[in-house]
Amino acid sequence: MGRVDLLLAAGSLAGGLVLYGIGTQPQVTPHPGLPPRLFLLTLAAVCVAVGLRRVAPRSSLALGSTAVLGDVLLGGSLGTLLVYTQVLYDACVYGPPRLWRWLLRVTVGLSVLGALAGVVGFGHWRGIAVGIPVVLVGVLPVLTGVSVRQHRDQSAAERDRVTAERDRAAAERDRAAAERDRAAIERDRAEQAARLAELDRRQAVGAERARMARELHDVVANHLSAVAIHATAVLSVPGLDRGQVEQALRVIRENSVQGLAEMRQMIGLLREPATDVGAVGTDVRVPGAAGTDVGAVGEPDGPAAGATRVRLAEVDRLVDRMRATGLAVRVRARGAAGPLPVNVDLAAYRIVQESLTNALKHGSGEAVLTVEQRPDRVVVLVENPVPEGAAPTGADPAGGRAGLTGPGAGLIGMRERAVLLGGRFEAGRAGDRWRVRADLPTGATGPGGGS
């Protein structure tokens, strides 16, 4: 029992005792000799039923109904009947739904039976008044309890609905927050992908600029170096006869024409579409500048054919041009010459070209070229004497011919070519000689090819 239940039971008992004290019992006297104290027993029993109203509604109703039945048999007391109305009300409010439905049917039925019995017993329609006490004690408390019960159930249902709506709104907010978080993650991913794409683009631009720098250096600088050397000789050496001047002019013209032709080839190749997808079993050809064809083996088709003429197999023509400019070149060939991948072929040729040009500019007029072809690699070695007292400046050896020292772009380009092919490159003094060695694999090549 709760505290409220105990207080209500005690209050009911106190009210019943007050009514007992003023003599409100019995309402009728079927047994005139009964002691009045018996009504206190029924009053106590119905007050105990009030205390059990919430913890045991059925037991409370059974105890209260038994007490009222005994009280009515004794003649009826007003206090017990009034407390019983509270028992009926609590049974409807706190009991199961089936209980209040059963009580409503029983009390209405007793009221009707009482009214009919009064009419029959008194032989007049006014006998219907016999059912009025049953209505007041039974039907009205039950209807009041049913009304309160329904209102309470509706309030509970409304509270549940509001709680469900609140939970649904909270779930919607959580879902919206999750969607916002997912959208933020997607935006971050998109921004990251954009940044990566921008980095890739910048790297590609940087690689392209480096490739073009190498090709421009090879095409322009090598031929212009020969032109500058012979023009300097014509201008600085007095007393040259007509034959010597004509020889220098022929070298100047040959290098100018050759350089111009290679420059035109490179510009024409850069203007062509970048890819040429071959048939099944062939590589995708991505032409590079100045005659490269990255990742393919064999001759390219179309406009790129003229731009890939420079190959290691044509190094003899290069040696002849160098000899014509005044550089004494000795050539040593080792191994069996065979077809090479285009990127390796071009890179080896450019390394030989740059090394002999440096020997012409900075050496003492002679050089030794060794080309060794192995089954899995090509080794190029160029050695030239360094003039007495000369020292390297920057990346290229200085000394030799005055005013023709360079910033080292040639060595940088040669090293890049070898590294892009997965090979090795070495350049430096070896005693009184300057030595350049490139080891280029002919199998699996690195990215970029000979470009």
| pLDDT computed for residue 402 by the predictor | 39
Over residues 104-119, the mean pLDDT reads 86
- The 3-state DSSP class for residue 434 equals strand
Computed over every residue of the chain, the mean pLDDT equals: 78
Q: How far apart are CA 92 and CA 141, in angstroms?
A: 9
360 residue type, one letter: L
Given pLDDT bands bounded at 50, 70 and 90, which one contains residue 306?
Answer: very low
Any idea how long the chain is?
451
Report whether pLDDT(94) > 80.
yes
- For the record, the structure tokens of 216 come out as 């421009």
pLDDT value of position 33: 66
pLDDT at residue 221 tops 80: no
Q: What is the average pLDDT across 139-164?
A: 91
Predicted confidence (pLDDT) at residue 112 exceeds the cutoff of 70 = yes
Full-model pTM:
0.44
Residues 382-424 have pLDDT tens digits of: 999 987 655 443 344 433 443 444 556 788 888 988 988 889 9
Structure tokens belonging to residue 142? 């039950």
Long-range pairs of 314-320 with CB within 8 A, sequence gap ≥ 24:
314/349, 315/349, 315/352, 315/369, 315/371, 318/349, 318/352, 318/353, 318/356, 319/356, 319/369
Instruction: Tell me which H or E stretch contains 286.
Output: strand 286-287
Q: 228-237, 270-279, 370-379 — which is least confidently predicted? A: 270-279
Output the pLDDT for position 450.
39
Contacts of 406 (CB under 8 A, 6+ apart): 221, 358, 361, 394, 396
Asked which of 25-29, 148-152, 320-324 is least confident by mean pLDDT, the reply is 25-29
Distance CA 99, CA 306 (A): 107
Least confident window among 7-11, 143-147, 265-269, 270-274 = 270-274
Task: Give φ, ψ of 50 to 5 degrees.
Answer: -65, -40
pLDDT at 446: 43
Query: According to the per-residue pLDDT averaged within each range, which of 36-45, 233-242, 284-293, 398-407 is highest?
Result: 36-45
Question: Which has the closest alpha carbon to 43: 73, 67, 61?
Answer: 67
What pLDDT is attached to residue 388? 66
State yes or no: cis peptide before 26, omega within 30 of 0. yes
Q: What is the pLDDT of residue 30?
A: 58
